[in-house]
Amino acid sequence: MKVLLDTHVFIWLLEDAPQLSQRARDTFTNPDNELFFSAASYWEICIKISLGKLELASDWGKIVHRELAHNNIGWLAIEPEHMQGILSLPMHHRDPFDRLLIAQAACESMSILSADQHFSSYDIPVIW
């Protein structure tokens, strides 16, 4: 199964946060799953750090790249069809980063690993 990691889930996985469900942990560790991290999530992290809404270690960028490689997580670039996919999404969710992740998951036939309850309003498989 191809699985796109929501931004907060990726951060929680790095921190082994107690908010992670057992199903999320199992999905992450299942070698049969193909995991992906979106450029949109990296961008979201940068924006939130610059606004003071998120604090991570000063070398967080190196940590992210190391963990992507270590956990065999693929990089998902933002393609024009992903951005165009946003146009057909209903407005169940107003966060632009989440809307892009939803469009990417739909366009790439991926499930999305997220604790965000708004995601289940869309026609994509949500794992939590």
- C-alpha closest to that of 67 among 52, 100, 45, 98: 45
Domain boundaries, the chain: 2-127
pLDDT, tens digit only, all 128 positions of the chain: 999 999 999 999 988 899 999 999 999 999 999 999 999 999 999 999 999 999 999 999 999 999 999 999 999 999 999 999 999 999 998 999 999 999 999 999 999 999 999 999 999 999 99
Structure tokens at 122: 């869309």
**pTM, full prediction:** 0.95
pLDDT of residue 93: 87
pLDDT of residue 4: 98
- CATH number for the domain formed by residue range(s) 2-127: 3.40.50.1010
